[in-house]
Every structure is written in structure tokens, then in C-alpha cells.
Amino acid sequence: MKIATFNINNVNRRLPNLLRWLRAAKPDVVCLQELKAADDEFPHAAIEKAGFNAVWRGQKTWNGVAILSRKSAPVLIRTELPGDPSDHEARYIEAAVSGVVIACIYLPNGNPQPGLKFDYKLEWFARLRKHAAKFLKQDLPVVLAGDYNVAPTPLDIYPTKSWDRDALIQPKSRAAFAALVAQGWTDAIRTLHPSEPMYSFWDYKRNRWPRDAGLRLDHLLLSPALALRLTKAGVDRKVRGEEGASDHAPAWIVLK
């Protein structure tokens, strides 16, 4: 079972890139973030024609998340992260696919920091940890996949000081990610690639893609019920170099 996460950065604008990658990579499940499309603008017809069923929660202009499934239709569980009824941003969707619970996550960026946006990021992380703990208590097979907007360690960002004040690498952001993993989750890509950067994001500015000035922001966390089934993990870097590409590349795992 191949599961991928891909911040598509506008699903309609990048639709040719997405369809080309789906044909080449043949994932079974895909979590998409940053759709930048309202619900009725999601290109479900093109995605169905490519052989995928989908559930999604859109949001005009910003955010938006979706789960695609190739073999069976995803069974929608929820379209928002519990814990704050006043939060209407489309950043979380959860579905069951072939006996596995898939949570698609688009965590807040948090910039500028300090400030209200950074506070929101940390509050969202706290809600995610609380929800994730319920999965572990029930010993469910779960993948928490998405753009966490955190480079967890210095290995996860190219050597630079230019991001030092950015919310993506602040000690509180990294501590929030570490606390989530410490509940008992397995960081799949880092587990199989302990010493490689494994970047998944290259900003459009300052020639960062040609310079390989990347960050690892896209993570797949596995519950103990799935961790022993992990066989492969990687990042499809070449997708980032295509014409009209998202600033992220797909990250993926294979479970036996």
C-alpha cells in the first residue's frame, strides 16, 4: 500500500502536474493540501478519470485538503480537527481507506512570529496531539500525513541563517512536533533515512530549487499498528523541477 502526501499549492493550477505524477507514481492513497479551491471548484471529474476516488474539504483562495484513493472509495470520518468549534479553516480531513485511518493535515504556517498566527499554530498542534492520542489509545492503524510546516531538526533544513526567525524552525514549533512523535508515532521518512536531508519543500524565491536549498516539511507519521509494516519511504524530488510545479514535492511510504 503506497501512501503519499503532496502540498499541491493550487489544485486547479497544478492539475496537469498532479495527473502526470499520479500516472507515474501510482500511489494507492494521496493526501493533498493547499487546494486553494472552494468545494465546488475541486476537479473531481479529472481525478476520477485518472482512476481515483476522493473526499475533500475546500476553501476559497486558501487552505483546503483532500484524500484520494485508487482502489476503494475513502470513507469520510471527519472534515475538521476537533477541539475548537470557532476554527473554520479547511486544514484537516480524515477517512478510512482499506482498513487504515488516513488523516490529511495542513498545519498552520505560523508567520509572522511572535504573534496571533504563531499562537494559532501552537494551539492547532495541541489539538492535533489530543486527537492523535485517541488513535493510540484505541490501537488503530493510522497515518498522520501532511504538510506540518515544521522542519523538525537542523538536518531538515539546508545550512543557512536566513530562516532563523521563521515559524517553521522555532524551538516551540520543533518541540510541538517532537511531543506529537513522542506519543508513540513513527516518523516514517526519517526512520528509513536517518542521515539524509530528504527535503520536500523548496521556496520559489532566491533560486532555492536549483541550489537545493530545501526543507523537510511534509511528514508521514505511523501508529504502532502500522510502523512494523513500513518497507519504503521517499520524496519524489523531480516533481518539484517540472514546469509550473508546486513548491513542494510528494513524500511517500510503502506499507506491506
CATH number assigned to the domain comprising residue 57: 3.60.10.10
Q: Residue type at 256?
A: K
By CB neighbour count within 10 A (0-12 exposed, 13-18 middle, 19+ buried), where does 237 fall?
middle
Q: Residue type at 26?
A: K
pLDDT tens-digit series, residues 204-223: 999 999 999 999 999 999 99
pLDDT tens-digit series, residues 177-205: 999 999 999 999 999 999 999 999 999 99
pLDDT score, position 71? 87
pLDDT tens-digit series, residues 120-152: 999 999 999 999 999 999 999 999 999 999 999
pLDDT tens-digit series, residues 12-36: 999 999 999 999 999 999 999 999 9
pLDDT tens-digit series, residues 103-124: 999 999 999 999 999 999 999 9
Query: Which distant-in-sequence residues (6+ apart) come within 8 Å of 85 by Cβ?
Result: none
pLDDT score, position 27? 98
Domain holding 177, by residue range, is 2-255
Closest residue by Cα to residue 246 from 11, 3, 67, 2: 11
Closest residue by Cα to residue 34 from 6, 67, 4: 6
pTM score of the predicted model: 0.98
b/e per residue 171-209 (b: at least 16 CB within 10 A): eebbebbeebbeeebbbbbbebeeeebbbbbbeeeeebb
- Compute the C-alpha angle 219/221/223, nearest 5°: 175
- Number of domains the chain is built from: 1
Taking 90 as the threshold, does the pLDDT of residue 246 lie above it? yes
Taking 90 as the threshold, does the pLDDT of residue 250 lie above it? yes
Count the neighbouring beta carbons within 10 Å of the beta carbon of residue 210: 8
**Cβ–Cβ under 8 Å, residues 205 and 247:** no
Taking 90 as the threshold, does the pLDDT of residue 83 lie above it? yes
**Cβ–Cβ under 8 Å, residues 236 and 8:** no
